[in-house]
């Protein structure tokens, strides 16, 4: 089921009582409680938040992705349980023993699904590109033709009506919105992977030794266009996007609840992420050959 996202932008004291998350405020506002098992993601943004260890343990036991933000209000860390699945060790072994050809095949599927979703998003916005269609239909094993980058070059130029827009960590807005949205998405995907008993650090393609979430970065690729959709929506409806206000964050934090089509069924993105991660495990275990990705078109 879809889990709830809680965002803490104000000072608060977080503890636990009766298997609930208990929120106490420094002013006279009454306490609030939230069932821990209903929570999927907790974003701790304010620097004046105190959280008890008892609560942290209960949150991780329920596989809540706890995201804490730095003084610049940007997502900084992601807390996940050591043990995410009862068969964790066996599942990790399948993941680690996956052959190179299998990984290349999985990466091919991933890139193809990503470009297809990018293409569909552009098409919906009336900015169709025949070249993109060619690119997603002709991804080679391991994406040796680097179709991903070719598609990205076309995609980012076409998506926003901003001259010389380039996607980059420190680029001009709406890069700030994209960074935030992807951080949320990454937390959702990493949470799903851990729940399926996999190591989010060992990727199928990404292998940067400084990256702790290589697999999450692989698997989130076909989901990125959904973040882009939300960001494009914000850009079209807001004059000022230079600053990441709470209002804008609210829009971005709705991403886990966004409807996506997966396997012919409409479901919230967070639920779809679990479908994807369990199908990925089945690919590693040799039970199936295709990862289930959402289809924007």
Q: Is 26 in the site for another protein (CB under 8 A)?
A: no
Which of these segments, 66-74, 94-102, 189-197, 265-273, binds another protein (CB under 8 A)? 265-273
> How far, CA to CA in Å, does 279 sit from each of 21, 34, 197, 275, 283?
32, 31, 12, 6, 6
Nearer of residues 133 and 295 to another protein, judged by Cβ: 295
Using CB under 8 A, pick the residue from 171, 258, 285, 295 that binds another protein.
258
Least distance to another protein from the beta carbon of 256, Å? 8
Answer yes or no whether residue 268 interacts with another protein by CB under 8 A. yes
| Window 229-248: contact mask with another protein (x via CB under 8 A) | -x--x------------x--
Which residues of the chain form beta strands (DSSP E)? 4-8, 12-17, 20-24, 32-35, 39-44, 49-51, 65-69, 75-79, 259-262, 265-268
Measured CA angle at 216 (ends 125, 274), to 5 deg = 80
Q: In angstroms, rounded to a whole number, what is the distance separating the alpha carbons of residues 104 and 46? A: 41
Looking at 15, 37, 79, 199, which residue binds another protein (CB under 8 A)? 37
Nearest to 81 by CA among 103, 96, 66: 66
Would you count residue 111 as binding another protein (CB under 8 A)?
no
Q: Which residues pair with 22 in a beta bridge?
A: 15, 33
Residue 33 interacts with another protein (CB under 8 A): yes or no: yes
Measured between alpha carbons, how far is residue 110 from residues 141, 217, 263 in Å? Answer: 11, 11, 15
Give min distance, CB of 258 to another protein, in A: 6
Q: Which stretch binds another protein (CB under 8 A): 76-84, 94-102, 261-269, 275-283?
A: 261-269
Q: Is 22 in the site for another protein (CB under 8 A)?
A: no
Q: Which residues bind another protein (CB under 8 A)?
A: 1-2, 4-10, 12, 18-20, 23, 32-35, 37-38, 230, 233, 246, 250-251, 253-254, 256-259, 266-268
């Amino acid at each position: 089921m879809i889990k709830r996202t809680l965002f803490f932008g104000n000072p608060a004291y977080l503890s636990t009582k009766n298997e609930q998350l208990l929120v106490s405020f420094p002013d006279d506002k009454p306490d609030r409680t939230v069932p821990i098992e209903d929570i999927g993601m907790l974003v701790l943004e304010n620097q004046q938040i105190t959280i008890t260890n008892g609560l942290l343990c209960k949150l991780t036991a329920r596989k809540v992705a706890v995201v804490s933000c730095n003084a610049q209000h940007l997502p900084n860390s992601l807390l996940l349980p050591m043990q995410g699945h009862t068969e964790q060790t066996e599942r990790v072994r399948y993941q680690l023993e996956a052959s190179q050809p299998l990984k290349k095949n999985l990466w091919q599927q991933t890139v193809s699904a990503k470009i297809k979703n990018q293409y569909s998003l552009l098409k919906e916005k009336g900015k169709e590109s025949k070249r993109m269609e060619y690119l997603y239909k002709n991804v080679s094993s391991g994406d040796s033709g680097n179709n991903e980058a070719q598609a990205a070059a076309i995609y980012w130029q076409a998506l926003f009506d901003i001259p010389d827009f380039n996607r980059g960590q420190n680029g001009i807005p709406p890069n700030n919105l994209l960074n935030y949205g992807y951080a949320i998405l990454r937390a959702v995907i990493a949470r799903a992977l851990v729940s399926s008993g996999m190591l989010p650090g060992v990727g199928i393609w990404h292998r940067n030794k400084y990256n702790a979430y290589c697999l999450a970065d692989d698997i989130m690729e076909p989901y990125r266009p959904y973040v882009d959709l939300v960001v494009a929506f914000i850009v079209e409806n807001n004059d000022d996007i230079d600053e990441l206000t709470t209002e804008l964050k609210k829009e971005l934090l709705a991403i886990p609840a966004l409807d996506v089509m997966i396997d012919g069924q409409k479901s919230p993105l967070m639920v779809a992420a679990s479908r994807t991660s369990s199908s990925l495990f089945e690919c590693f275990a040799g039970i199936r050959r295709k990862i289930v990705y959402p289809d924007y078109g």
